[in-house]
Structure 1
Amino acid sequence: MKHLLVVLTVLGTSFAASSQQKWSLEQCVEYAIENNISVKQADVQARMDRLTLDQSKAALFPAANSQHNMGYQFGRSIDPTSNQFTTNEILLANHSINVNVDLFNWFRKRNTVAANGFAYEASAAKFDKARNDVALNVANAYLAVLLSNEQINAASVQLQQSREQRDNIKKQVLTGALPELNLAEMETQLANDSATLIGARTDYRLRLLQLQALLNLDAAAVFNIQAPPVDSIPVEPLSELEPAVVFNAALANLPQQKINELNVKAAAKNAQVAKAAMYPSLGLAGGLDAKYSNAQKLIPNAYKTGIVPIGIVALNGADYPVSSIGPQTYPISFKKGNYFNQLSANFSQNLGIGLSIPIFNGNQARTNWKKAKLNVEVQELLLEQDAQTLKQDIYQAHTNAVAAIEKFHAAQIAVASAQKAYDFARKRFDVGLLKPIDLITNQNNLFKAKINMLSARYDYVFKLKLLEFYKGYGIKLHR
């Protein structure tokens, strides 16, 4: 029992340690790519399109089918082995193998293979796009959690300062140096700072839950992330992220552009497939067939050629034999018509060539061809539209990045000014030249300035990361 308790204790400690492990951005992205439902759906669709491509390649080979039928026949019918009418009950069987070969069909099958090949490549690119989208969303959520963590730290510092000031004022109130109103004002500020810290922690937890949802993690699971300082997050200089350069790189690297280009190619091949349906097609067919019938008891196994008597004619009271005109081949001996003997005796072969010419089918083939050509135009317009949207998004992202950096610099100046104002106010308060409410105002101004600077910093980091993503650098939070 003691050993069991020791083992359970060790396992519990190991599990707790592993459950408390903090996730890096790379771990989050890798886990999301492996477990996110959208990525899995894209992967399944790509595999389905691969099967469609393989099937169209297999369709290039001749088609072969084997049929085996058995039945019971009664009433007036035809014996399939003798081709004679009969009223006997017959047990019959038929075995056949048929082969069909397309000799020429205006490259319909080859173009189908090409179209399915482009469709599969597009699906593979969609899978890459799903992975990229998840990585970008995870990075955005990750940075939001980091910002919330920084806000918790700032709120904690603010609360600690308010607590120290409250304690200092309380001592002065007890000695009669300050009125109780000052203590009440500081108690109010302390309560507000406590509420701010609670709100920051709640926001942090909610953002963690949003990140867990992107990772497809159970919301009840213990989860936390690494919190690298924002100063350590590498970003490309804005001069290296000019919108024209980023746009050209995005056209070459982003999966969406590849998807659209491949869809255009697939649509063009499908148009050729639809056009082939308006022209004649040539095919070759052949087969082997064998039959059995229990009505066929005997099978001829030897033949003779000669004059065959076919009957007697009575003339003037005398009978005269009547024979065939010319020699004929007729059986002279028989063997038992069992199952395998009949299959051998009734074995037949066929070979033929066929030409199919479409004449009129309600204009269906021509209409399908016209629709296929219009679909090419649709895909080309979609390619152009997505390129325009991408360019618009990149230029807008660059403008937002410039504004975010300028906003961050302005926030830095605001923090420096607010810090200077608070330091002066604190000195005046310490010597009794400033009311607590004025000190609280300066303290709140400094706190808001710090929060605004943190938000501005994370905002410009993400906007630069977005430009890096468009350029094809991926998402990283370390060098």
Structure 2
Amino acid sequence: MKKFNVVICLLCLPAFAFCQDNNWDLQRCVDYALSHNISVRQSDVQQRLSAIQLKQAKAMQIPTLSMNSQAGEHFGRYIYPTTNQFATNNSFSQNYGLQSGITLFNFFSQQHAIKSAKALDNANKFDIERAKNDVALNVAAAYLQYLLSLEQVNIAQGQIALSQKQLDITNKQVAAGSLPELNSAQLESQLATDSSTYITNEATMIQNKLQLLALLNLSADAPFNVSLPDVEAIPLIPLSEMQPQDVYHIALRNQYQQKVDSLNILSALEETKSARAQMYPSIQMSGSMNSNYASKDPYGFSYSKQVFNANLSEFIGLSLNIPIFNSRQLRSNYEKSKENVISAELTQEKNNQALQQNIYTAYSNAQSGIQNYNANTKSESYSAYAYELAQKRYDIGIMSTSDYLIAQNNLYTAKMNKAAAHFEYIFRLKVLEFYKYNHIKL
């Protein structure tokens, strides 16, 4: 649940245009992934298969037509094809046949089959959009992870610069005899800790970059640069306009997964009607034309005279097919189709429950997110003021190095917590926005 929400909210990142080919914004990453992602291509294949199935269902209403021909040499005793009498002389013969048939009435089984195939085809079209959303969200998740790791690296670099600057000042004071050497040793230790944090953050950044490149199907050594977005510029919809019960009812109509579920139920219902109709009698009309040729015709007719006149026969008729017993195949098909309806309905219910839970969870997280952000904003302000006072006290030698480093680390932690809380609050709101509009307004 948490992972799903976090992934969805990542779409809130605004697009930034770059002029160099090796610079990537979120939109470029998503577009590239959509054209190369296997899951989207697989969904597209499924939709094309369902389109073929729909064409096949519609074609069942068209009369069938087939033609056959057979030619051969007769030897020994046989029935002569044009006279139906026994003959013993060798002869050559050829016959032609043309057959056609159409179902006139089968209790609308074909019509329900067409409706079922059409609903399935529409469901697969929406499923392509769902797959695209999933890919976009996964790419956005990896993109944000990379951006956050870049920011962590930058903060760690700033921390190193701050510690190094303070160490240089302290070393001069130690050399002048105004401060004990212990102060320099403590700052050296802090600088080593900051360097270790930087190395860890940089390793995480590289891993996140490789993960994003893998999602994009790009080489690990491909030129790839991104830019940190301006979080303050991201537009936000007030939380008061995102009441969870309202968002949920809108999402039931807008979300692609819910549209897929509804169409799958419709397809299953129509398939049930079609399976039931197959258990009743059906009426077919058929017709045929047949002719043949024999090399030793007793009347001496030519090839065209035999084939198109003398030996030509025609037939047209109606047939009634009444299923009585066929090893319970039709009954079993009907009962399985009813179970398929129940299965589709349960799938819809499960997905709707998950949707409702996601929305209410996102709303609760957004509420706590703004409170957490406000609290961390105050904490960062107080920590900055405390550090400013500590800096002044340390510079005049009335504060120990360890106390100064505590104030410095508190400020560093407060900045990180505030940034994280700010991102969290914004992204939680974007989760609700996604559910309500099925996309993110940037």
Whether the TM-score (by the shorter chain) exceeds 0.5 is yes
Gaps of 5+ in 2: 1-18
Q: Does 1:275 align with 2:276?
A: yes
The equivalent residue for 1:5 is: none
Shift, 1:181, TM fit: 2.7
Cα pair 2:29 2:139 within 8 Å, conserved: yes
Cα pair 2:254 2:438 within 8 Å, conserved: no
- 1:19 is paired with a residue of what secondary structure? coil
C-alpha distance after superposition, 1:253-274 (max 9, x if no partner): 1011111111111111111111
Cα pair 1:69 1:93 within 8 Å, conserved: yes
Cα pair 2:251 2:438 within 8 Å, conserved: no
Cα pair 1:292 1:343 within 8 Å, conserved: yes
TM alignment of 1:302-451, pairs within 5 A: 334-335=300-301, 337=302, 339-344=303-308, 345-451=310-416
C-alpha distance after superposition, 1:266-318 (max 9, x if no partner): 11111111111111111111111122233xx2352xxxxxxxxxxxxxxxxxx
Shift, 1:36, TM fit: 1.8
CA distance in 2, matches of 1:269, 1:293: 53
The equivalent residue for 1:307 is: none
Letter in 1 for 2:21: S
Moved over 6 A (4+): none
Letter in 1 for 2:283: L
TM alignment of 1:158-197, pairs within 5 A: 158-197=159-198
Letter in 2 for 1:390: L
Instruction: Percent identity, please.
Output: 42
The equivalent residue for 1:330 is: none
Assess, with a 3 A threshold, how the Cα gap between structure 1 residues 185 and 348 changes in structure 2: closer, same or farther.
same
The equivalent residue for 2:21 is: 19
Letter in 2 for 1:298: D
Letter in 2 for 1:388: Q
Shift, 1:399, TM fit: 0.8
CA distance in 1, matches of 2:438, 2:329: 49
Assess, with a 3 A threshold, how the Cα gap between structure 1 residues 72 and 421 changes in structure 2: closer, same or farther.
farther
CA distance in 1, matches of 2:281, 2:105: 9
Cα pair 1:135 1:475 within 8 Å, conserved: no
Shift, 1:77, TM fit: 3.1
- 2:99 is paired with a residue of what secondary structure? strand
- 2:320 is paired with a residue of what secondary structure? strand
Equivalent pairs, count: 424
- 1:298 is paired with a residue of what secondary structure? coil
CA distance in 1, matches of 2:88, 2:38: 66
Structure ranking higher on relative contact order (CA contacts 8 Å, 6+ apart): 2
The equivalent residue for 1:472 is: 437
Greater share of residues in strand: 1
- 1:60 is paired with a residue of what secondary structure? coil
Q: Does 1:457 align with 2:422?
A: yes
Cα pair 1:148 1:203 within 8 Å, conserved: yes
Letter in 2 for 1:36: N
Shift, 1:72, TM fit: 4.1
The equivalent residue for 2:11 is: none
Assess, with a 3 A threshold, how the Cα gap between structure 1 residues 467 and 83 changes in structure 2: closer, same or farther.
same
C-alpha distance after superposition, 1:102-148 (max 9, x if no partner): 11111111111000000001101111111222222233333322222
CA distance in 2, matches of 1:154, 1:371: 61
- 1:234 is paired with a residue of what secondary structure? coil
Assess, with a 3 A threshold, how the Cα gap between structure 1 residues 166 and 88 changes in structure 2: closer, same or farther.
farther
The equivalent residue for 2:240 is: 239
Gaps of 5+ in 1: 1-16, 301-333
CA distance in 1, matches of 2:210, 2:244: 34
Deviates more, 1:184-193 or 1:263-272: 184-193
Letter in 2 for 1:437: S
Shift, 1:469, TM fit: 0.5
CA distance in 2, matches of 1:122, 1:286: 39
The equivalent residue for 2:144 is: 143
Cα pair 1:67 1:95 within 8 Å, conserved: yes
Shift, 1:89, TM fit: 4.3
CA distance in 2, matches of 1:141, 1:245: 30
CA distance in 1, matches of 2:90, 2:193: 101
Assess, with a 3 A threshold, how the Cα gap between structure 1 residues 179 and 79 changes in structure 2: closer, same or farther.
farther
The equivalent residue for 1:4 is: none
CA distance in 2, matches of 1:155, 1:88: 105
Cα pair 1:105 1:282 within 8 Å, conserved: yes
TM alignment of 1:83-122, pairs within 5 A: 83-122=84-123
CA distance in 1, matches of 2:287, 2:166: 101
CA distance in 2, matches of 1:424, 1:74: 119
